[in-house]
Chains A and B, each alone.
Chain A
C-alpha cells in the first residue's frame, strides 16, 4: 500500500512539475535559448524546483518499476532485496543529480 500511495502522490507532483517544465522550457517562443537556460538553471528558486522534480521522477519511476517487477511470481520472494536495491539506486541518483543542480553556475 505504501508504494501505491507514494506512486500516486508523486504522479500528482509530476503533473505540476511537468506542466511547469513544458511551459517554461518548451512552449514560449525564444525560450530554447542557451543564455536564458543558463540564467534559469543558476537561479536558486529553479534549483529547488529542479531538485523536487528530480525527487518526484525518481520515486515515481522506481516505485513503478518495483510494482511491475514484483508482479512476477518468481521475483516476488525477493521483493525486500529489490526494494532495498531500488532505494539505494534512488539515493545515489538523487545525490548525484542534486550535486549537479546545486553546483551549476553561469560561466561568464
Chain B
C-alpha cells in the first residue's frame, strides 16, 4: 500500500525524475511519474512508491529515513537537499510537478545514485580523526576524562552535527570547476578538529588546508550554507581556518599550553 493511501487528503502530483542507465542510455533523460500524494508524503516516500508500484528499475540511495545517515541527498528543483525529511507538497510547481535529479558535479552511476569517491577522498585528506596529545597512551585507560570548557564545546557546534550528506560539496561551484579542491564538507571537519582542544596537530592541519587546494580557493559563494540540511555554516568555518592558517605557529603554541591543563586534569 502506498504512503498516499495511508493518511490525509489525496492530491495529484507528477514526480519528474532524471533517469540514466549507463548500460542502455547515451545520456540522462527526464521521466514523469503521476502519483497520488498527501500533505505528509515525503520525497523519499514518493520515490519508494514509484519503485515499488510503477518502475522497479528506479535506483536511489537511502537508509535511515530520519535525516541522519546522509545518504539520500539529491537535487530537488535545482537545489540540493535530503529527500527523506522534505514533503513533496512543498516543492510542487504551478503544474503540480517536482523534479528530482542526482547531486550535480558528480559522476552518475545509475539514475539518482552518484559516485562519491571524490567526496570521500577529499574527506580523508584532512585526517578527519582526532589526533590526541603525545602523552596519551592508547594501551592504558586514562584515569579521568579530558575536560573541555563549555565555550570550547560551543565553538564546535557549527561542525559537529554534519551528517556527510554531500549536499554542500555538490553545490559548490569551485568543486564543479576543480575536483582537487578539498571542499566545504572536509574543511568543516578540519575546522572541527582544529578547534578541538584535545587535538594536538592544529598547525599540521592548518598547513594542509592552507595549501593550494584548501581554504584560499573558496570564493565565499555561500552555496554550501544555502543547501546544508543541518543548517551548518561551512563558509564561516573556512573563514576561521583562513585566519588561523596565517598564524598557525602561535595557534599551535597556545594549544600546547592548553593541553598541559588537560593533562593536569587527566592525571
Nearest residue, chain A, Cβ from B246: A1
Is A1 a contact partner of B245 (Cβ separation < 8 A)? yes
- What is the count of residue pairs linking A and B with beta-carbon distances less than 8 angstroms? 26
Interface hits, A47-79 → B, CB 8 Å: 67-68, 71-73, 76
Tell which of A3, A5, A71 touches B177, judged by Cβ atoms closer than 8 Å: A71
| B174 interfacial contact with A, CB 8 Å | yes
CA distance A48 to B179 in the complex (A): 44
With a cutoff of 8 Å between Cβ atoms, the chain A residues found around residue B246 in the complex are 1, 5
Give B125 Cβ to nearest chain A Cβ, in Å: 16
Is B245 a contact partner of A76 (Cβ separation < 8 A)? no
With A73-B179, A73-B180, A76-B180 in contact, do A1 and B174 touch (Cβ < 8 Å)? no
CA distance A80 to B54 in the complex (A): 55
Interface class of chain A by DSSP = helix
Give A96 Cβ to nearest chain B Cβ, in Å: 30
| A4 interfacial contact with B, CB 8 Å | yes
Interface class of chain B by DSSP = loop
Interface hits, A1-16 → B, CB 8 Å: 1, 3-5
CB-CB contacts of B222-259 with A at 8 A, as 1s and 0s? Answer: 00000000000000000000100110000000000000
Give B21 Cβ to nearest chain A Cβ, in Å: 28
Range of interface residues on A (Cβ < 8 Å):
10 to 19
With a cutoff of 8 Å between Cβ atoms, the chain A residues found around residue B212 in the complex are 76
Tell which of B177, B210, B219, B245 touches A73, judged by Cβ atoms closer than 8 Å: B177
Is A71 a contact partner of B210 (Cβ separation < 8 A)? no
Tell which of B217, B242, B245 touches A71, judged by Cβ atoms closer than 8 Å: B217
Binding site for B on A (CB under 8 A): 1, 3-5, 67-68, 71-73, 76
7 extra interface residue pairs, beta carbon distance < 8 Å, beyond A5-B246, A72-B178: A3-B216, A4-B242, A67-B217, A71-B181, A71-B219, A72-B177, A76-B178
Binding site for A on B (CB under 8 A): 174, 177-181, 210, 212, 216-217, 219, 242, 245-246
- Complex A-B, nearest 9 residue pairs according to Cβ-Cβ distance, in ascending order: A4-B216, A71-B177, A73-B178, A72-B177, A1-B216, A71-B178, A1-B210, A71-B174, A73-B180
24 A-B residue pairs with CB within 8 Å: A1-B210, A1-B216, A1-B246, A3-B216, A4-B242, A5-B246, A67-B217, A67-B219, A68-B219, A71-B174, A71-B177, A71-B178, A71-B181, A71-B217, A71-B219, A72-B177, A72-B178, A73-B177, A73-B178, A73-B179, A73-B180, A76-B178, A76-B180, A76-B212
